Structure 1
Amino acid sequence: MKKTQFLLLALALGFVFSCRENDGIADDTSVQKEVHNKTVHVTHHDGRPFSTGNSPYAKFVAGPGGSVLMQGFYWDVPDGGNWWNTVKGKLTDWSNAGIGAVWLPPASKAQNGAYSMGYDPTDYYDFGNYNQNGSIETRFGSRTELEALITKAHAENMQVYADIVINHNSGGQSEYNPYVGSNTWTNFSGVASGKFPRSYNDFYKNSYGNNDEGAFGGFPDLCHANPYVQDWLWGRDDSVGKYYKNIMKFDGWRFDYVKGFGPWVVNTWNSNVGGFSVGELWDSNVNTLEWWANNANSSVFDFAAYYKMDDAFDNGNLNVLNDDMMWKRNPFKAVTFVANHDTDIIYNKMLAYAYILTHEGYPTIFYRDYEEWLNKERLNNLIWIHNNKATGTTSILYTDNDEYIARRNGYNGNPGLVVYINNSSSWQERWIQTNWASQQIKDFTGSSSWYPTTQSDKWVKIQCAPKSYSVWSLNQ
């Protein structure tokens, strides 16, 4: 997690630093062998389409392929308190495009007040309505503006996910800490909301031990073993989780830096609070991702797929897409992505978006890719394909260094699709086996003008433009 940090020993004025989490990239365990000219089934679940569920509001209805998540911010969005209004103004267009949920940055007041991206939380109940840490509003705006954004999203039948930072806190006052024998910045008894006051015994080290799974950046490390902390995070009726869900009307959670505490924390939050849940476990080892998701009872960002896509599309090695990824282990707990506010290493992004928006898992679109950097029309086309055609289990039909072809096998009357990704510098053609006998198909991206008819044995020749992708399904 890239976060604005402060020298905690400098009276909360400190110098501002910026850092990136660098957890290392573990080697994935590959369970797939290189495949040439034959079909390999890579998932073994019941083929239900992925869906996050729809809130009972108004307009947007996810197609049979499920929904798409928008990360509604990037690192260092403009300060000045207008970001909630900016996002609110885009919700109708996002809903019309087929986006079913938006993930917002941490919404509560943090140590750097109007300049903080929110990852150094001070008062979980100050959404820009208390004068503390040098401002009333947060970087993103006022509580009233945030509530208007959430109301507007629900009117568009979109869900809203809160970024939850519960590994560490910042902005407390100095107090003597008998467990370290000196002063620590752990006195949060004076938070303006009056809710969840904290002291040194709510942070490690304390009477519950010296540490948990991990601290971050020198910030006071919140002690989830303390029943008082548990009660304020998810237990009591006005706990952080229940307040966000029942009062602020958030529909789900993106848990920040879950390496810093045990998966039982997210599991217990989910059991007590409910809502959609995804954890930021920055690790490319699919075994670690699956272990965490199962123990947390939560979805997890598919970092295994992220690094494989970088290798495939940027390094000319599409064969690595045969390797194991979280979406292949459990697509219902895999949130796939091409870039986010912390990491943006994939260069051939449209090929990567073609991959995640035609494959299983819950695909995420990064704000800057959609609004600033890539072709919005092409992304909207892929979103439509995802929502309307991307159903059923996945079969890889062909791979080599430059080409990748996979089939979604369809579900409950939906025909599925075939996606062809071509990273070479020339047009390519392949004979592949579909699920459709003696039926006309077409490329739903519009790249190819072919309208071939499948043979009685379901085989057909398809094509793909250089450095591009095509997506084939029944012409209906």
Structure 2
Amino acid sequence: MSNDVVMQYFEWYLPDDGQHWQRLAGDVQHLKEIGISMVWLPPAFKGTSSSDVGYGVYDLFDLGEFDQKGTIRTKYGSKEDYLNAIETLKANGISPIADVVLNHKASADSTESFTVVEVDPNDRTKILSEPFTIQGWTHFTFDGRHDIYNDFHWHWYHFTGTDFDAASSRQGIFQIQGDNKGWADSQLVDQENGNYDYLMYADLDFKHPEVIKNIDDWVEWFLDTTGIEGFRLDAVKHIDSYFMKNFIYNVKKKMGDDFYVFGEFWNGDQESNKEYLANIDYSFDLVDVKLHQNLFDASQVASAYDLRQVFEGTLVQNNPESAVTFVDNHDTQRGQALESTVAEWFKPAAYSIILLRQQGLPCVFYGDYYGISGEFAQQDFQDELDKLLYVRQYHVYGEQIDYLDAPDCIGWVNLGSEEHPDGSVVLISNDQATSKRMDLGVSNAGKTFVDIMGVSPEEVQIGEDGWAEFPVQGQSVSVWINNQTLESA
């Protein structure tokens, strides 16, 4: 078993200094030492400006190389720096994962006239107007790139919708009209708001053969240019799932099945997740939104939350082999669109839930590890996470036995394996100090366990039958491991 860990190596409020790729390259050895096996990189493509976090994608073929949108570099640096960071990660045995944003294009070079109907933002299947003409920002010519790498230019008929009429300076959701136009089939996108094909900017029409051809040309170029070893797919609930399945099939056909892919399907409903995974033939994994929501809820109400329910309805419970677990990310951090930041008091416990269990692939958020500065500041949890990552590397093996049996205190044990014989015990309280009698198996009999988190000061002697009583302080997490292995670490 390999206890892989992803790190999301960015947060929303990073400085617009063009130095992030260089900082990452300088941090790679440290990431390797703490057990990070994959790094999810922020979107590397030219956006609306140098300060664009990467999701207002303008030109997928510009990785910080051409003078476009007032900048050559992206927020994170130059193409050369990006490629160097990727090579440095790979040289140290860490897989670089590219954030791929295909749903929309932003900051077009000029407007075009075309026919639309306005739709209800709360029900995109409901038409509010007769057809009328707008001036929409849909003409992309990439003049600063001069057709290098690809000479395709985008027009209104390559999109399904847009959100601004330049002629009237009016915002709305405008569905583009014409032959074979319209939103994606409702069964192939999320059905929130009736049909959630449209999210923002100029929305790509994945039914159009020229769009599909251009994306195929781009991904071939991108893979050959960067040597990237995986994708994080942005906003897949808004993209035709039939297209996504075929797109990833072709990528893996080129790169092999070890090319790791996971998607942001932002929907906490377990049936919707199951349906989406079936629609894509389980060709890539999904982030576990429901687990994040449960962790957020638990952190907000403290002892009023029944910890026995923390895995209820989650992807890691229903489809653990397809789940990427996380505590927070760039969308849930304070000040962002999906703000639902897990409260600081519960962060260590939340991370123990994703890092110290054997189900799912855990993702550590840069903002939690290194902290966040500015208006929406947050402390860092580097010390706590280093300890949890250490335990994951060496003590999360063998049979896992759950003790999810009390509303205010849950725990589990990992018994250890032949290669990693020392097990671990995790105990979480959201109320008062308490304890739980747990079985570590006879292979751990006689060992002395200590709390690596430093919360519970006492030592616990494992009985000859493998059982022991493990304490936990109020509203905290204790992680117990063999004292001898800790001393030799």
| Category of TM-score, reference length = shorter chain | 0.7 to 0.9
Give 1:303's aligned residue: 289
Structure 1 residues 83-117: Cα deviation after superposition (integer angstroms, max 9, x where no partner): 21222222221111111111111111112x21211
1:198 aligns to 2:154 (yes or no): yes
Structure 1 residues 46-79: Cα deviation after superposition (integer angstroms, max 9, x where no partner): xxx4xxxxxxxxxxxxxx3x21111111113111
Q: Helix, strand or coil for the counterpart of 2:435?
A: strand
Structure 2 contact 460–468 (Cα < 8 Å) conserved = no
TM-score, normalised on structure 2?
0.77
Percentage of identical aligned residues: 25
Q: Helix, strand or coil for the counterpart of 2:43?
A: coil
> Which structure has the higher relative contact order (CA within 8 Å, separation 6+)?
1
Among 440, 446, 454, the alignment partner of 1:440 is 446
Give 2:27's aligned residue: 90
Cα distance between partner residues in 1 of 2:403 and 2:143: 58
Matching residue's letter, 1:346:
V
* CA deviation after TM superposition for structure 1 residue 362, in Å: 0.9
Give 1:320's aligned residue: 309
* CA deviation after TM superposition for structure 1 residue 462, in Å: 1.5
Cα distance between partner residues in 2 of 1:321 and 1:187: 47
* CA deviation after TM superposition for structure 1 residue 263, in Å: 2.2
Give 2:271's aligned residue: 287
1:109 aligns to 2:41 (yes or no): no
* CA deviation after TM superposition for structure 1 residue 218, in Å: 4.3
Cα distance between partner residues in 2 of 1:74 and 1:110: 16
Structure 2 contact 59–142 (Cα < 8 Å) conserved = no
Among 98, 112, 135, the alignment partner of 1:183 is 135
Structure 1 contact 311–320 (Cα < 8 Å) conserved = no
Give 2:192's aligned residue: none
* CA deviation after TM superposition for structure 1 residue 392, in Å: 5.2
How many residues end up aligned between the 2 structures? Answer: 406
Counterparts of residues 3-82 of structure 1 (less than 5 Å): 49=1, 64=2, 66-82=3-19
Among 46, 49, 61, the alignment partner of 1:125 is 61
Matching residue's letter, 1:300:
L
Matching residue's letter, 2:262:
V
* CA deviation after TM superposition for structure 1 residue 152, in Å: 1.2
Structure 1 residues 304-331: Cα deviation after superposition (integer angstroms, max 9, x where no partner): 1111112234322212225231112222
Q: Which structure shows the higher strand fraction?
A: 2
* CA deviation after TM superposition for structure 1 residue 411, in Å: 5.8
Structure 1 contact 74–368 (Cα < 8 Å) conserved = yes
Structure 1 contact 289–302 (Cα < 8 Å) conserved = no
Structure 1 contact 126–192 (Cα < 8 Å) conserved = no
* Coordinate RMSD, CA, aligned: 2.3
Matching residue's letter, 1:200:
W
* CA deviation after TM superposition for structure 1 residue 286, in Å: 2.1
Structure 1 contact 122–191 (Cα < 8 Å) conserved = no
Structure 2 contact 460–470 (Cα < 8 Å) conserved = no
Matching residue's letter, 2:442:
W
Q: Helix, strand or coil for the counterpart of 2:427?
A: strand
**Structure 1 residues 142, 466: CA separation in 2 closer, same or farther (over 3 Å shift)?**
same
* CA deviation after TM superposition for structure 1 residue 294, in Å: 3.7
191-200 or 114-123: bigger deviation = 191-200
Structure 2 contact 308–404 (Cα < 8 Å) conserved = no
Cα distance between partner residues in 2 of 1:330 and 1:443: 33
1:250 aligns to 2:221 (yes or no): no
Structure 1 residues 200-253: Cα deviation after superposition (integer angstroms, max 9, x where no partner): 22111343321124344541110111222222223xxxx222222221121111
1:454 aligns to 2:463 (yes or no): yes
TM-score, normalised on structure 1?
0.79
**Structure 1 residues 323, 226: CA separation in 2 closer, same or farther (over 3 Å shift)?**
same
Counterparts of residues 208-223 of structure 1 (less than 5 Å): 208-212=180-184, 213=189, 214-216=196-198, 218-223=200-205
**Structure 1 residues 293, 175: CA separation in 2 closer, same or farther (over 3 Å shift)?**
same
Give 1:263's aligned residue: 241
Cα distance between partner residues in 2 of 1:79 and 1:129: 17
Structure 2 contact 45–60 (Cα < 8 Å) conserved = yes
Structure 2 contact 446–464 (Cα < 8 Å) conserved = no
Give 1:41's aligned residue: none
372-381 or 161-170: bigger deviation = 372-381
Q: Helix, strand or coil for the counterpart of 1:429?
A: strand
Give 2:352's aligned residue: 354
* CA deviation after TM superposition for structure 1 residue 434, in Å: 3.1
**Structure 1 residues 99, 437: CA separation in 2 closer, same or farther (over 3 Å shift)?**
closer
Q: Which runs of 5+ in 2 are unaligned?
A: 117-131, 161-175, 190-195, 253-258, 334-340, 372-378
* CA deviation after TM superposition for structure 1 residue 394, in Å: 4.4
Q: Helix, strand or coil for the counterpart of 2:154?
A: coil
Structure 2 contact 269–313 (Cα < 8 Å) conserved = no
**Structure 1 residues 454, 168: CA separation in 2 closer, same or farther (over 3 Å shift)?**
same
